[in-house]
A = this chain, B = another copy of it.
C-alpha cells in the first residue's frame, strides 16, 4: 500500500500537555534583524529522529482524516472493524487530504524551529478532514471546542461530527480553527493570502494552491499579486502549488505541463520554483523539509535586504507625483526593477496518497478515483470493510496514540506551541487583533448647507477627503486600505494620494503618478483581486473599502456570497471575534453612463446582496454628499457586515446639512418636510418617495413642479437611505414596523417611488405592507445606450415630468382638473427626448434647473 518511514520501536508516551489560552493582544514580535535565523546546522540534512517525528505526525493526521470520513465508533481500532462502526452515509473527500497533511506537518516543523508567526491558507477544495486532523493533534481544536477532547472519546466525536448533521462541513470553513478561508468555492486562496500579508511585516502566509483551483481565472490572475507586495512593510507569501494531478474526474492542466514549461510559467509570475516530487515518503519528507528551509531562508534574505535600507528609502509613503519609493535616475527606471523573486514550492505527490492502491480491480491511489470516498458501501461490502481496516492500520495507530487515544510525544515532537500553532494563530481570528479606525469628525469634511439645493458637490470627492484623513491617521498603524480596479481617481477619491501612494513594486517611469512601494491604495484591473485582497485584509483584523463601478461589481457576486456566508457563520461562533465590515462604494452608477452606455448599466448588485443573510447585509443609497459622509462613517465603524453604498461621482445638489444628514441616516428613511406641501393637519394626497441620488433630484424637481402647478395638492416627500428599512422587522433587523411604515408612506394614499435600481426590488421589500397596492415604482429597466446626463432618466420615465404625470394619474379626482398640467408635462417630456437626440445635450431648462423650494 505504501512505504512509511521507520520509527523508533518504543515511542515515548506523552501524558500531559497544558492547554494554552488564546492570546488576544497582538504578540510582540522581534524586529526582522533580531528574528531567529536558520543555523548552519538546520540547513544540513535533517536528523533521522526529526524525520521519524515528521512521518509519525503525518501518519497520525492521515489516520484521523480517514477516520473522519468513515468511522462512527471504534476510533482507535481497539477491536476489529465491524459494519456498525461505519457511518451510514460516507461523505467527504480523501484525495487532497494526505497532501494537506504533509504540508501542515512540515509547516509545524519550520514554525517551531524558527519561531515563525505563520498562518496557512488551505486552497484545495474539501480540505476539511486534513485541517481538522491537524488542529486536533496540536490541541487548538480542543481549546476551541472543549467537548472534542484530545483523547479517544474526543477522537470519536471528531470523527462523528464530520459531514454529519449538526456537525462540521467537509471544507475548511469558519468552524475550522486556524482558517480564514472558506474552501467551498475555489480560486481565492492566493488573493486571500496576499490580503493577509499586507501590512503584516512579520507574518508568513503559506498558501496551498490545488492544481484544480489553479485553473480558475481568479487564481490565475492572483499570481501577479507579488507586484503589489512591499517586502518592507508587508509580510511574505509562500505559495505551495500542490500538483496531485487530478480534479474531480479529470487531470489538471498544470500537472500535465512539461516541467520546463511549468517553470517558465512560475518564473513568468515572478517566482523561483523549488520542486518536491515523489511517492516515497522518506524521500518526499527529506526533500520537502529541504525545500521549506530553502524557501524560508530566501524569504528571510529578501526581507533583510529590503529592510536594511528600506526604511530610509521609502519614507513615509506620502503621496506625490511620480514617486517610486526609490531614487530615479535619468533612465526613467527606478528601484522598482529590484522586485525580488519570491520562492514557490511545487509539490507533486499522488492524489489520495497512502490510500487504497486498488479497489474492485480499478487503480485508485494516484488517480481521480481517490477524489472522494475511495471505498464505498463499506457497511455492506466485507471486502471493502477489510480494505478500510488494513488502510487504517497501515498508519500503525498504536505508535501514534497512547491507550487513552492521546497523540504520542513522537507525533507532537515538531508541533509548535501556543499561538504559534497554525490552528491558534490570532491572525486567523482577526477580530482578536482588530482596533477601531481613528474616525475623524465629519464636520471637518461636511459641505455647508444653509438651504437645500443651493449648491452642488461631487459626493465621492467629498468622501475622498475623509478617507484621506483616515489614511493619514493610520500611517503608523497601517490598518486601512482602499482597493479598486484602477478607478480610485476616476471615482473622485484622488485625495487619498495626499496621504499615501498606490502600491507598486514594478518599474516606475517619469510620467507615472503616486506610485509607491509602501502605498496603501491597491489598484489592479481585477475585481477578483481587489475583493480577494480586501477579504484577506479584513479577515486578519484590518479595515478597508472597495470602490468600484456599479455595473462591474457583479464580477465578484460569487465571492461576496461566500464572504457573507463566512460572516453569517462566524457570527454564530462565540470564539470568532467580530471583524471590520466589507464596505463597497459603488459609483459610476447606472444613471450616469452617458460616457459608457449599455454594457456599464446594472444596478442589480443590490438585489443580489439583499437575497443574503439579513443580519450581515446593508445597502445604503445616500442622496447627497453629507449623507454619504455619514453613511461611510457608519459603515467603517460597523462590524461583521457587508455594506453596499451606491453614490454618484457627478455634481449633485447638497440637500442636507451635516446635522440633518446625521438625523436622516440615524432613521434610515424619513419625511423631507421642506420639500413637500403637507400642512401637517391631514394625511397628504400623495407620497413621492425616492432612494438614490438621481431619483431624489427628480422627485424634488417633481415636487417643485407640483407646488407651482397644483399648489393645493398636499405632497409628501420621503427619502430612503437604508434600503433594509423597507423590509418588515421580521425579515431584517433594520426593518420598519408596519406602524412606522404606514406613518411614513400612509396606508392608503398613492405612493410614487422613484428608485435607483430595478423597480421590482421595492415591491419585493414592501409587498407585505398595508398600502402595497398603492405603490407605483419607477426605476431602471434594461434599455440600451445613453449619452447625456438625463437621457437615461428620460428613457426610463424616471424624470420629473413623468413623475408629475404619475401623480396626476394616480391621485383620485385629479385627472380632469389637472389635465392641462398633465399635457404640459407630457409635452416637455417629449420635447426633452427630441432635444437630446438632436443636440446631444439636455434641455437647458433641465440641465440648468435648481431647487427653488
Partner of A185, one of B267, B524, B552, B767: B552
Whether B165 pairs with A836 at a CB distance below 8 angstroms is: yes
Partner of A758, one of B166, B561, B611: B611
Whether A91 pairs with B594 at a CB distance below 8 angstroms is: yes
* Interfacial chain B residues near A218, Cβ < 8 Å: 217, 221
* Interfacial chain B residues near A598, Cβ < 8 Å: 169, 173, 184, 565, 569
Whether A215 pairs with B558 at a CB distance below 8 angstroms is: no
A360-395: which residues lie under 8 A (CB-CB) from chain B?
A: 363, 366-368
Which residue of B has the minimal Cβ distance to A509? B251
* Interfacial chain B residues near A512, Cβ < 8 Å: 251
Whether B502 pairs with A250 at a CB distance below 8 angstroms is: yes
Which residue of B has the minimal Cβ distance to A795? B165
Whether A217 pairs with B787 at a CB distance below 8 angstroms is: no
Query: Is A760 on the interface with B (CB-CB < 8 A)?
Result: yes
Query: Is A523 on the interface with B (CB-CB < 8 A)?
Result: yes
A769-814: which residues lie under 8 A (CB-CB) from chain B?
A: 772, 782, 784-788, 791
Partner of A568, one of B224, B568, B782: B782
Query: Is A438 on the interface with B (CB-CB < 8 A)?
Result: no
* Interfacial chain B residues near A106, Cβ < 8 Å: none
Whether A256 pairs with B506 at a CB distance below 8 angstroms is: yes
Question: Within the oligomer, what is the number of copies of this chain?
Answer: 2
Whether B253 pairs with A524 at a CB distance below 8 angstroms is: yes
Contact flags A260-301 to B (C-beta < 8 A → 1, else 0): 011111111110000000000000000000000000000000
Question: What band does the interface of chain A fall in when counting residues whose beta carbon is under 8 Å from B?
Answer: 35 or more
A204-245: which residues lie under 8 A (CB-CB) from chain B?
A: 212-213, 215-224, 227
* Interfacial chain B residues near A217, Cβ < 8 Å: 187, 216-222, 526, 528-529
Query: Is A597 on the interface with B (CB-CB < 8 A)?
Result: yes
Given the complex of chains A and B, what is the CA–CA distance between A251 and B334 in angstroms?
14
Query: Is A474 on the interface with B (CB-CB < 8 A)?
Result: no
Whether A184 pairs with B596 at a CB distance below 8 angstroms is: yes
A617-644: which residues lie under 8 A (CB-CB) from chain B?
A: none
A500-558: which residues lie under 8 A (CB-CB) from chain B?
A: 502, 504, 506-509, 511-513, 515, 523-529, 551-552, 554-555, 557-558
Query: Is A30 on the interface with B (CB-CB < 8 A)?
Result: no
A173 touching B594 in the complex, CB below 8 Å, given contacts A217-B216, A248-B486, A256-B506:
no
Whether B185 pairs with A91 at a CB distance below 8 angstroms is: no
Partner of A88, one of B504, B528, B764, B840: B840
Given the complex of chains A and B, what is the CA–CA distance between A842 and B123 in angstroms?
32
A493 vs chain B, min Cβ distance (A):
11
Whether B552 pairs with A337 at a CB distance below 8 angstroms is: no
A573 vs chain B, min Cβ distance (A):
11
Whether B772 pairs with A767 at a CB distance below 8 angstroms is: yes
A36-44, A192-200, A601-609 - the one binding chain B:
A601-609
Which residue of B has the minimal Cβ distance to A188? B217
A826 vs chain B, min Cβ distance (A):
20
Query: Is A336 on the interface with B (CB-CB < 8 A)?
Result: yes
Whether B336 pairs with A599 at a CB distance below 8 angstroms is: no
A170 touching B596 in the complex, CB below 8 Å, given contacts A213-B525, A253-B524:
yes
Partner of A363, one of B168, B511, B565, B786: B511
Whether A215 pairs with B91 at a CB distance below 8 angstroms is: no
Query: Is A167 on the interface with B (CB-CB < 8 A)?
Result: yes
Whether A212 pairs with B270 at a CB distance below 8 angstroms is: no
* Interfacial chain B residues near A523, Cβ < 8 Å: 249-250
Query: Is A756 on the interface with B (CB-CB < 8 A)?
Result: no
A544-599: which residues lie under 8 A (CB-CB) from chain B?
A: 551-552, 554-555, 557-558, 561-562, 564-565, 568-569, 594-599
Query: Is A489 on the interface with B (CB-CB < 8 A)?
Result: yes
Whether A261 pairs with B270 at a CB distance below 8 angstroms is: yes
* Interfacial chain B residues near A554, Cβ < 8 Å: 557-558, 561
Whether B611 pairs with A169 at a CB distance below 8 angstroms is: no
A594 vs chain B, min Cβ distance (A):
7
Partner of A784, one of B267, B502, B569, B788: B569
Which residue of B has the minimal Cβ distance to A601? B565
Given the complex of chains A and B, what is the CA–CA distance between A613 and B758 in angstroms?
11
A631 vs chain B, min Cβ distance (A):
24
Whether A597 pairs with B552 at a CB distance below 8 angstroms is: no
A71 vs chain B, min Cβ distance (A):
12
* Interfacial chain B residues near A269, Cβ < 8 Å: 265, 268
A843 vs chain B, min Cβ distance (A):
12
* Interfacial chain B residues near A526, Cβ < 8 Å: 215-217
Query: Is A149 on the interface with B (CB-CB < 8 A)?
Result: no
Whether B524 pairs with A782 at a CB distance below 8 angstroms is: no
Which residue of B has the minimal Cβ distance to A341? B261
Given the complex of chains A and B, what is the CA–CA distance between A696 and B524 in angstroms?
47
Chain B CB within 10 Å, residue with most, of A171, A337, A552, A764 = A764
* Interfacial chain B residues near A486, Cβ < 8 Å: 212, 247-250
A360 vs chain B, min Cβ distance (A):
15
A482 vs chain B, min Cβ distance (A):
14
* Interfacial chain B residues near A165, Cβ < 8 Å: 786-788, 791, 836-837, 840
A268 touching B270 in the complex, CB below 8 Å, given contacts A217-B528, A529-B217:
no
A60 vs chain B, min Cβ distance (A):
25
Whether B224 pairs with A785 at a CB distance below 8 angstroms is: no
Contact flags A736-769 to B (C-beta < 8 A → 1, else 0): 0000000000000000000000101101100100
Given the complex of chains A and B, what is the CA–CA distance between A163 and B88 in angstroms?
64
11 contacts between A and B (CB under 8 A): A89-B594, A165-B787, A167-B785, A169-B598, A185-B551, A217-B529, A250-B486, A256-B507, A554-B558, A604-B611, A760-B767
Extra 9 A-B pairs, beta carbons < 8 Å, given A552-B558, A554-B557: A171-B599, A184-B596, A185-B555, A213-B525, A216-B528, A248-B490, A569-B598, A607-B611, A760-B767
Closest 4 CB pairs of A and B: A184-B599, A265-B268, A217-B221, A217-B217
